[in-house]
Structures are given as C-alpha cells and as structure tokens.
Structure 1
Amino acid sequence: MTDVSLNDGLDDGRTPEAGFGDYLALLKPRVMSLVVFTALVGLLVAPAPVHPFVGFVAILCIAIGGGASGALNMWWDADIDARMKRTRGRPVPAGRVEAGEALGLGVALSGFSVLMLGLATNWFAASLLAFTIFFYAVVYTMWLKRSTAQNIVIGGLAGALPPLVGWVAATGAMALEPWLMVALVFMWTPPHFWALALFVRSDYGDAGVPMLTETHGARATRNHILAYALLLAPVALALGLTSVGGPIYLAGSIALNAAFVAGAARVWRRDQATAEADRFLAERKLFKLSLWYLFLHFGLLMVEATPLVVRLEGAVAWL
C-alpha cells in the first residue's frame, strides 16, 4: 500500500484550491462596505417611503454591483497586483483563482445586479448602477489607472455615485441633495488615497502605476492633499444646509472638517526626511482619520433622518 501524506498536493509547488473566502475577496468586501453604507444613506434620507423589502433588495443589488466591479478590477489588474506588496496575496495574482473565473464572475454579477435593481425599483436607478460599474471597471481600471496621475481624481466618480443610486432607487428622480453626497465622496477620495500613497509609495512605483507620488513627487502630493481638504470642507458643510442636513450634522461636520484640515496641514508642513524618520506617522493618522471622516458624515445624515431627531428639531424651531 502506498503511504499518502495528508500534505500531498500542498508541498509539491501546487497552489491550494480556491475556497469561498477567495471568491469573496474578489468582491473587495471592504470597499463594498463603503458602497453599501453610502448607498443605504442615500436611500434612507430620500423624501420617499420605501418598503423595507424593496429597500433591502435595492441595497443588496448595489452591493452585488460593487462586488462585480471589484472582481472585474482584480481580473484586469492581476499583473499590477502581483508586483505590489499590498495586493500580491489577492486570489488572482496568488494563483488561487483563474483570471477567467474572476472575469466571468464580474460579468455575471454585473448583469444580475442591474437587472434585479431595475425590476425591484426603477430602470433609472439600474442604469446609474450600470454606469457606475462601467466607469469603475473600464474607465478607471482599464484606462485612467495606468495612464494618468489624475486616476484617483477622475476615477473617484465611480465610488462617489452609490448614494445617488440609492436616492434614485427610492424616488426615481435626481435632486441637489444626492449630488452633494456624490460631491462629498468625490472630493474626499483624492486626499484619502494620496495619504495612503505617501507611505506605500514604493508599491505604486514597483507596479508602474502613475500615482501622483510617483509622477510629481511627495511635495506636490502634500500640496494637493491640503488643497483638496480645503475644497472638501465647504462641500461637506453645504450638504448640511439642504433638506437632509440640520444642526446635528452641521456641528459634527464643522468638527470633522476642522480636524481633517488640521491633519492635512500637518502632512503639508512635513518634508520627506521628517516623515521617514517617524515612519509616516502623520500621514498614517490622516489616512485613518479620512476613514472616520466619511463614515461619520454619512452617519450624521442618518441621525438627522431619524423621526426623533426630526421631531426635536421641529420643536426647537417652533419655540
């Protein structure tokens, strides 16, 4: 009888078969969570009642569409991901999932999410979701990411559109409020990613991605971070003056923007030697703050939309 080791097939150089977690990773769940949250807020603050089941289906479809974009991104970017320390362990470059499988999954989920959103809500929202997937997978991933230092700036539109999709799914129409939500995410995206690029800069250079840190240097990147932080603040505050805002949102937004501008100013004042000496401490802090910045802004919009807050604000206004 031949002695078969339990480790056979793992120690002979072959890659283990993909598991459920690998296919889930193709959908970029962390990125998808941001898409889901902003879309959910867009749907909940819209001035139209939505049946809970319809709302659930709408957000599920938007989440699946976001995941489809991630799978298509990983299919196309497998060569880049393989050269970056931060991404080389992803399923496609690591060899656990075939590129064709990622492509097939992305295409199938794209079609399914758009079709189901159209059937569950309206075809206007479905067309916006289709455009969002197309913009991220084709315009950003296949073109902008490899061709221009403005990749994050222009490509950020794809990640900014979900709250508009959520709003249109509820109302079937455009309005100023969701576009300001889009503008908030759009203006937030560059300083968020540039702060990250400052302390993982070698990754982008090794992969040949023309991130601003590689094409224009750290000094220009620091200048851009501060400029965008200053431009972001009035957009965030303007949202508080619309029908979905209010005093709670405005108070929180003022505090968040003061902290964000202060953090960007600290990053701007530093030179490369200082940053390297403390292992990019200020840059890492700004990146972490940027995550809380967006989450809390949309969280405050949800707070403003709750019936209790609406009643309290109405009572204060009456007094």
Structure 2
Amino acid sequence: MSSAASVTDEVPAPTVPRWLLATRRLKAYVALTKPRIIELLLVTTIPTMVLAADGWPSWSLVVATLIGGALAAGGANVFNSYIDRDIDAVMKRTQNRPLVTGAVTPRAALVFAWALSIAATAWFLWVVGSPLATVLAVLAILGYAVGYTLILKRRTSQNIVWGGLAGCMPVLIGWAAVTESLSWTPVLLFAVIFFWTPPHYWPLSMRFRRDYANAEVPMLPVVASTRRVAIEMIAYAVAMVAATLVLVPVAGMTWVYLAVAVGSGAWFVGGCIRLYRRSERGESKLREMRLFRDSITYLSLVFAAVLIDPFLPDALTVLQA
C-alpha cells in the first residue's frame, strides 16, 4: 500500500503547453483594457466622423482613428485598473480582474499602460496626422487616469459626473481627425454623452451599492437615497434629450434624426421616471439593471441616427433656408 502511494506521488504533474500559457497571458492583458468600455466609446466615434465629413470619410482615416482611440482608451483603462487594484480586490464584481488574481503583476500593468498611452499619442500624431486629435487624446487619458481615478472617485459622490468628461472625448477626437477643428456640433455631441453618463452609470452603482460601500467609494447611490438618485437621473436625462434636440438646428439634421431623438429620448426619460416611482413606493425590485442596459440602447439609437443623417436627402432637413 505504501509502495503504491509512493509510486503515485512520483507521477509528475501535467505541464501546461506554452501556447496555452501565452493565450491566458494575452487574455489577461486584454481584460485590463476593458474592451466593452472601449467598444462603447468607439460606437460614438464613427457617426461623429461621418457627420463631420458630411458623408463617409476615407476608410484609412476611420480605421486609423479607431485604432488610435482604442489605444488611448485601453491605456487609460489599464491605468485605472492599476490604481484601483485595492478597490477591485474588495468588490465581488471585480475580484476576478487580472491584477487581483495575479495573472498580471502591478509593475507589468503599469508598463503596459504607459506603452499603450505613448503608442496612442504617437499614432494620432503621425498616422492620423492630427495635432488637435493628439492633444484631445492625451487629455482624455489624463482625465480618466488622473482626474477621475486618482482625484475624484474616492472623494466625491459626483465622481462619475465630472470623471465622465473623459468618456465624452471620442466625439471631439473623431471630429478633429476629420476637420482639424472644433465647432458647436461636436460640443453638443459631447454634451449628449456628458448628460447621458450619470443615468447610465448610477443604475449599475445601485445594483452594486454594497460593493462600493465596502470599498469606501462614495458613489451617489451609496451616500444618497434612491429617491434623490432617481431625481438627479431624470434631470440629467432631460438635459441629455435637450442637447440632442439643439443639435437639429445647429447641425442641420433631418426629420429622421429628430424623430429618433424625440422617440428614444421620451422612452429613456420614461424609464428614469418609472425608477423614481418605484423608489417612491418603496419597492425592493427597482429593475435598475434594465435601465442600465436601456441606456446603452438609447445611445446606440441616437448615434445610429447621427450616422445615417448625412446620407439622407436634403428635402428631409428640418430647417431649410
């Protein structure tokens, strides 16, 4: 019996193939960049570029801008993961992130963040060829890594409001890549995303309120009543819809865009109002995650309308000279 046990103990553990280790390492680094956030940011870039060009820009410029935007957003997200690794270790929702599990070391993550950010800066300057887009990309990285993650996130309940400015930058970057200038149109698109961010993110904060409380992150749903959060969400949502409507005369949008902006805006504001009414009645099931998903659908609808608008006939323009 003892000899059998000793023979068993001597059997070497199976070795993991190098290709599998490399694949796991690659997936860990990709996870650090938070691809889903990057995807959402880039969804707003292409329609903005189409509107700026009043048609389809060159494919090379679109692809180059998207690659640069992905590099910049990835770098900012890796900086965020590096700085917030202590918070991620406490929150159940983030305990499987690479820096928490040890799949990537903090030093390697920091080097990766700098590499992506420097690559993004060089890419915008020399490949996209837009000094203005380059400056805006650098400001976006600094805004998210320093402004939001280092300064605001752990200090104020309005962290996501002002920290969300970095997430609005892709529309300015996309516009600058096409025109090497800025105007009221991209500023209004910027405002749409700025006002959209709180009613988009606060439902998620409601769902994971206990996680944020345990990590001592003062998200508004942690430090304020659900009723107050819902009221502020309605206010931001109304301002967001107003920004989409002001875009009509400023950018000369068509009736098609106007219909989408009004219809989807009423639908999303209605969702915020329903959340408020549930909080007033003291219901335990607020369906906040449904509103979170609806916010993504709303933004996609509005920017899809922005995308197709330049290709529609002038006869559909709302205000014609």
Q: Is the pair's TM-score, using the shorter chain for normalization, greater than 0.5?
A: yes
Tell me the SS of whatever aligns to 2:249.
coil
Rg comparison, structure with higher value? 2
Residue 169 of structure 1, aligned match among 174, 177, 180: 177
Which amino acid in the other structure matches residue 49 of structure 2? L
SS in structure 2 opposite 1:275?
A: coil
Q: Which amino acid is 1:201 matched to? A: R
Distance 1:231 1:54, change over 3 A: closer
> Pairwise mapping of residues 95-114 of structure 1 onto structure 2 (< 5 A)?
95-114=102-121
Query: Mapping of 1:47-196 within 5 angstroms?
Result: 47=53, 50-119=57-126, 120-196=128-204
Percent identity of equivalent pairs: 33
The Cα offsets for residues 171-212 of structure 1, whole Å up to 9 and x where unpaired, read as: 000111111110000000011111111222111101110101
Offset of residue 104 of structure 1: 0.8
Task: Tell me by how many angstroms 1:232 deviates.
Answer: 1.7
Question: Which residue of the partner structure matches residue 36 of structure 2?
Answer: 30
* Distance of aligned partners of 1:16 and 1:273 in 2 relative to their CA distance in 1, 3 Å threshold: farther
- Equivalent residues, number: 307
Q: In 1, are the aligned partners of 2:99 and 2:105 still within 8 Å (CA)?
A: yes
Instruction: State the SS of the aligned residue for 2:178.
Output: helix
**Structure 1 match to 2:265:** 257
Choose the corresponding residue for 1:214, options 219, 222, 225.
Answer: 222
Secondary structure of 1:46's aligned partner: helix
Query: Per-residue displacement from partner, 1:8-52 (whole Å, max 9, x unpaired)?
Result: 9xxxxxx99952111111111000001112122222211377432
**Unmatched runs of 5 consecutive residues or more in structure 1:** 9-14
Q: Which residue pairs with 1:267 in the alignment?
A: 275
RMSD: 2.4
Q: Tell me by how many angstroms 1:159 deviates.
A: 0.2
Pick closer, same or farther for the CA change 1:17–1:55 going to 2, 3 Å: closer
Amino acid at match of 1:19: R
Q: Distance in 1 between matches of 2:134 and 2:68?
A: 9
> 2 CA distance for matches of 1:160 and 1:286?
20
Distance 1:142 1:202 in 2: 22
TM normalised by structure 1 equals: 0.90
The amino acid across from 1:221 in the alignment is: V
Q: Deviations over 1:120-149 (max 9, x none)?
A: 221111000000001001110111001100
SS of the residue corresponding to residue 164 of structure 2 reads helix
Corresponding residue for residue 20 of structure 1: 26
Deviations 1:238-280 (A, max 9, x none): 123332622111101111111111111111112387432x3x3
Gaps of 5+ in 2: 1-6
Is 1:248 matched with 2:248?
A: no
What is residue 3 of structure 2 aligned with on the other side?
A: none
